[in-house]
Structure 1
Amino acid sequence: MSETIRTGGCLCGAVRYEVRGEPYKGGLCHCADCRKITGSSFLHYADWRPHQFSSTGEVRTYAGRSFCPQCGSHTFNLGDDQVEIHLGTLDDAPNDIKPLIEGWAKRRERWLPTLPGIPMFPGDP
């Protein structure tokens, strides 16, 4: 059985990344920071371990969130024990990575349909 490899990057292509294997968690976040960073109602993300991740190109970081200094695309957040990928930056769409949780549901838009079987947390899960 072969390992899944997913690639992604920023809008201008200066930053590229690869993740290997499956994420260990993922979901939707409706917090104020994620809404501002995405310019949308929520962030769809998934987390991989650092050994599953590699990237090329220059990134800048603000408050732990990495972005391309050329086009401004937010692609991933690097942590000591996880790499959070903004799933909208993956090359394959749809990518079939389903959310497992919803965080900051108290900020969730009321017009969004409920996702059956997905637990919602009022703040951080």
Structure 2
Amino acid sequence: MTIHSIEAVHEGGCACGAFRFRAMGKPIRVGMCHCETCRRVHGSAFGAYAIYRRDQVEMSGTLATWRSSDEGRRHFCPVCGSVAYMEFVSRPELDLPLGAFDETGLFEPDYELWCKHREPWLQYGARPEYEEERTA
């Protein structure tokens, strides 16, 4: 008898459905970001992302891109404006927003970044915290 490994596939996309993605397997890590750009882009107190290797994600649809920093690229749906994903050009990974997945409760963040900008009413000490970027 042969046992086959079934790799989890999680799908998601933008609010209007013009952009879709399929993420295969487990993310590399899951984090929350309190940087000022994530706060503004998401219109929320933070951004929360599942980070996957590029080769783990398939995408369909047309996106627009904003160069948010020297390294950062934020891709969004030009129809509804939803954040589709972000990336740093020097890293072989994509950051998929947790709110863009079709299912809720898939992933819990492992850490928080840019905590120096965190809202004071958010809980402290729930996971490893970094004042700015991760060190590991």
* TM over 0.5, shorter chain: yes
5+ long unaligned stretches in structure 2:
68-72
* Pair 1:88 & 2:68 matched: no
Which of 10, 17, 22 lines up with 1:6 in the alignment? 10
Alpha-carbon distance in 2 for matches of 1:46, 1:15: 17
Which of 62, 76, 80 lines up with 1:67 in the alignment? 76
Q: What is the one-letter code of the residue matched to 2:129?
A: M
Fraction of identical pairs, as percent: 36
Alpha-carbon distance in 1 for matches of 2:17, 2:114: 31
Alpha-carbon distance in 1 for matches of 2:41, 2:125: 23
Q: Which residue in 1 is equivalent to 2:108?
A: 98
* Pair 1:38 & 2:48 matched: no
Residues 61-113 of structure 1 show CA distances to partners (whole Å, capped at 9, x for unaligned) of 00110000100000112445001101100000122x11111000111111111
Matches within 5 A, 1:47-58: 47-58=51-62
Alpha-carbon distance in 2 for matches of 1:109, 1:47: 23
Q: What is the one-letter code of the residue matched to 1:42?
A: F
Give the TM-score normalised by structure 1: 0.93
| Structure 2 counterpart SS, 1:33 | helix
Alpha-carbon distance in 2 for matches of 1:57, 1:12: 11
Q: What is the one-letter code of the residue matched to 1:22?
A: K
Q: Which runs of structure 1 show a deviation greater than 6 angstroms over 4 or more consecutive aligned residues? A: none
C-alpha RMSD over aligned residues: 1.1
5+ long unaligned stretches in structure 1:
none
Which of 100, 122, 127 lines up with 1:112 in the alignment? 122
Q: Which residue in 2 is equivalent to 1:28?
A: 32
Alpha-carbon distance in 2 for matches of 1:100, 1:107: 18
| Structure 2 counterpart SS, 1:28 | strand
Highest Rg: 1 or 2? 2
Shift of 1:10: 0.4
| Structure 2 counterpart SS, 1:93 | coil
